[in-house]
Amino acid sequence: MFKNLFKKFGKEIGIDLGTANTLIYTRDKGIFINEPSVVAINRRTEQILAVGDEAKNMLGKTPPHIEVTRPLTKGIISDYEVTEKMLKYFIGKVYEDGKGFSSRPRIITCVPLEVTEVETKAVEDASISAGAREVSIVQEPMAAAIGARMPIQDPIGNMIVDIGGGNTEVAIISLSGVVVWKSTEVAGDEMNRSIMQYAREVFNMLIGERYAEQIKIKVGSAIVLAEKMEFPMRGRDIVTGLPREVMITDAHIREALKRSINTIVDNIKMTLEITPPELTADIHERGLLLTGGGALLRGLDEVISKQADIPVRISDDPLTAVVRGTGILLDEPELLKEVSLPSARDTKI
């Protein structure tokens, strides 16, 4: 009776707790929140000043007593207290327009493949402390595959490559389980750092990480484009210390991203090398699916297809595949039972 009452009045929430962005799905509103996983803190008072978009706008522009931090690193909680406060803030936004009685929400949240029991427990504890009554944990590539409507329950090979902010995960899924996988820290954030390093080494300029990300989005590519693209790169000249601007092209950024792209391709090839032959045959026929923000890099699908010799397609709206998967799992409790990880809160660590 009480479970039905909770279901009637309570929220059920799916969370993609990512290094770069946090997305929240609710049954009644769909994807309700899509904001950066960034928090601004006043270190004098330990007060949270801003979360999400507002906090990201402060990056690199704060006085010494204000710290803008990302509480997740490589998809893992690196600052427990700040993550808890960030989750509490986002869950509070879900309830802002709630009327009358509301119970604590049931939450489905995601973790990377390369996660320890202690790290899983940290995610569960942070969710409970932020207001959840019950937490289910699902691996990110599994949620992404479900969100992309891949037939993960069938006895066939489903290959998914999820390129997020903190890590890239390559997984072969069959019969609702991950058969083989590889993970690398080379992903969106590493690409941004590569652009920053390239600007320093080639143009003697210092640029910020946020601006490097903007350059990647505007002119980044993995292949030679039909039309040359240009974008102004603004920063501080290392020699003079003064502001400076240079025009860069897609060829410059392609050179900057070359090593990162090769690392991702190598991880895909290594995963295929350890995949059982029957599943390899399926993948050769069906190809792989790209999800995550990195899937939007121009021509990345073509580079992977050529080097791995398999068909490659990009998920519809790859940025939201994981959180859409949690939304599907909210409506399919039997599938959730199959794919969720055992609770680490029940284990003595």
Q: What is the pLDDT of residue 235?
A: 95
| Nearest one of 177, 173, 189 to 288, comparing CA atoms | 173
The β-bridge partners of 255 are: none
Tell me the three-class secondary structure of the chain, residue by residue.
CHHHHHHHHCCEEEEEECCCEEEEEECCCEEEEEEECCEEEECCCCEEEEECHHHHCCCCCCCCCEEEECCEECCEECCHHHHHHHHHHHHHHHHCCCCCCCCCCEEEEEECCCCCHHHHHHHHHHHHHCCCCEEEEEEHHHHHHHHCCCCCCCCCCEEEEEECCCCEEEEEEECCEEEEEEEECCCHHHHHHHHHHHHHHHHCEECCHHHHHHHHHHHCECCCCCCCCEEEEEEEECCCCCEEEEEEEHHHHHHHHHHHHHHHHHHHHHHHHCCCHHHHHHHHHHCEEEECHHHHCECHHHHHHHHHCCCEEECCCHHHHHHHHHHHHHHCHHHHHHHECCCHHHCCC
Per-residue confidence (pLDDT) for residue 123, from 0 to 100: 92
Which pTM does this prediction carry? Answer: 0.91
Residue type, 194: S
**Nearest 5°: CA angle at 133, between 92 and 343?**
120
Residue 164, CB-side half-sphere exposure with 13 Å CA sphere: 36
Cβ within 8 Å of residue 224, ≥6 positions away: 251, 254
Closest alpha carbon to 147 in 349, 341, 335, 337:
335
Cβ neighbours, 10 Å, residue 346 = 8
- What is the reported pLDDT for 242? 96
Residue 97, pLDDT score: 58
Bridge-based pairing state of the strands 177-184 and 168-174: antiparallel
Residue at 90: amino acid letter: F
So what's the pLDDT on residue 3?
A: 47
CA atoms of 299 and 261, how far apart (whole Å): 11
How many whole angstroms separate alpha carbon 102 and alpha carbon 92?
12
Name the amino acid, one letter, at 140: E
Per-residue pLDDT of the chain (349 residues; tens, 9 = 90+): 444 544 544 689 999 999 999 999 998 889 999 999 999 999 999 899 999 999 999 988 899 999 999 999 888 899 999 999 999 999 888 877 554 345 788 999 999 998 889 999 999 999 999 889 999 999 999 999 999 999 999 999 999 999 999 999 999 999 999 999 999 999 999 999 999 999 999 999 999 999 999 999 999 999 999 999 999 999 999 999 999 999 999 999 999 999 999 999 999 999 999 999 999 999 999 999 999 999 999 999 999 999 999 999 999 999 999 999 999 999 999 999 999 999 877 654 4
Place of tokens 């050529």: 306
Sketch out the chain's domains with CATH numbers: 2-143+321-346 (3.30.420.40), 150-186+266-318 (3.30.420.40), 188-257 (3.90.640.10)
Structure tokens belonging to residue 258:
């070359």
